[in-house]
Structure 1
Amino acid sequence: MNYENIIGLVAGLITSASMLPQLIKVIKEKDASYLSLAMICILIIGLCFWVYYGFLIHELPIILSNGFAVLVNSTLLGCYFLYRSKK
């Protein structure tokens, strides 16, 4: 793995981890009423396209960082349905 790939991987993972504090807060508080379902769904769709694009161009940093982001945001989506307000 060359220097550029390492920088890309680190940058992608840091960016992808940006939703972890949100996920931790939702899990701790067991409350997802303030989350936007549309935003999470659109984000996951976009991230899936990034993963697919990474496979098309054979770029591991794109695949790994966006794959991690799909995992984090899919977990957040699951928490949305698990902890949403029962109105």
Structure 2
Amino acid sequence: MNWVSLIGYGAALCSTVSFVPQAWRVLRTRDVSALSTPTYAITCCGFALWLVYGIVKAEWPLILTNGICLVLASFILAMKLMPRQQRESVAQTLAPPAE
């Protein structure tokens, strides 16, 4: 593996992991008030386009990274767009409060 590949894998790892803290915070706090709907909508579109590009080019690093990022960003966007009661229900199911 050369240094260019290492840079690519490092970038892919950072991009993928960057959405995990936000998704976890949304689940834990159920608060989406500070999140920008247009930003997450554009981000989801970008990841979807990168995913399609990766599929067309048969580039597994692009497919995996952008597929995972699309799922995480779409989850955050969906939570932002859901009515509060439904958001509470989803969060309760996925991350019930510690007792």
- TM bracket, shorter-chain basis: 0.7 to 0.9
Moved over 4 A (4+): none
Count of matched residue pairs: 82
Identity across aligned pairs (percent)? 31
Question: Unpaired runs of 5+ in structure 2?
Answer: 85-99
Query: Normalising by the residue count of structure 1, what TM-score does the alignment of the two structures yield?
Result: 0.81
Task: Determine helix, strand or coil for the equivalent of 2:35.
Answer: coil
Amino acid at match of 1:29: T
Larger relative contact order (Cα-Cα within 8 Å, sequence gap ≥ 6): 1
**RMSD, matched Cα:** 2.0
* Counterpart position of 1:34: 34
1-side partners of 2:71 and 2:56: how far apart?
Answer: 20
1:1-87 equivalence runs, <5 A: 3=1, 7=6, 8-9=8-9, 11-82=11-82
Q: CA deviation at 1:29?
A: 0.7
